[in-house]
Amino acid sequence: LQPGPWPAAPPDCRGERQSPVNIVTRNVVYEKSLKPLSFEGYDVRGSAQWNLENNGHTVALDTSPKIGGGGLERKYKAVEFHFHWGVLSEQQIVSPGSEHSIDGEKYPMELHIVHIREDASDMTEAKKTPDGLAVLAFFVKVEENKNYETLLSELKNIKYKGQSAQVDPLPLSSLLPPEEDLERYFRYQGSLTTPDCYQGVIWTIFETPVQLSLLQLSQFAALHFDGKNSTPMLENFRPAQPLNGREVLWSGASIALPRAQLLLLALALTCTLSSLSH
């Protein structure tokens, strides 16, 4: 599905809590309850093969680890993950294609791991509740990542819509940054970024990006939106949607202030001490 004005789009796609959004860092609200998430089964290699499928808008995989904590009121189980990207070549990022952006800056690609409520049997049942889905979002920056080789080597076999390939499963954690780098993230209430644009999605967007080389990124350019002679699958992202008054929360993590703030604090202390000594 190409983004933008979808024909006969469901009403939710014009709702007040749509995704993605541009995150303006000076406006985010620090929320101390946003502790590190717990990742259950993310480090386990599943027994069943993953089904890698070109479903006409993204590449999806079946898997079943769980997440909890991190300000979530319940556990959520992973059901699939997919990517959004712009225009890629082996030489350069022609145009970036992440869905979310930070202070207006986009990354080459974005990875989404979609989870449904632990007590729901499938996506349809989960969507009957106001907090049915939790999506983990990771930006992708340019640097080689050997952990993705098996996965990416299969993309040429699913060029066209409806094609699928079986891939030996990997621990999901092997595709992500180290867990200790996942303490800093943004959180907001939003929607799916493709129809039906369901608005019960709890978004978690991590500061630390996943790494893929230019050559690895360019392998996604082999995919097509439909059958032979159809449009190459490029720019499969939705543009940023209005926040409409929603707050974007920030975990801040339990680490020191950024250097710039420490410097200002030191200067302030110096000024205070010098004024006391006069």
CA 136, chain centre distance (Å): 5
Among 176, 156, 270, smallest CA distance to 222 is for: 156
Pick the catalytic residue: 57, 84, 112, 224?
A: 57
SS3 191: coil
- For residues 161 and 226, is the Cβ–Cβ distance under 8 A? yes
Does the annotation mark 84 as catalytic?
no
Start-to-end C-alpha separation, the chain: 68
Structure tokens at 23: 């995150």
Q: How many CB atoms lie within 10 A of CB 43?
A: 12
Torsion, Cα 5 8 12 18, to 10 degrees, reads -10
Active site residues: 57
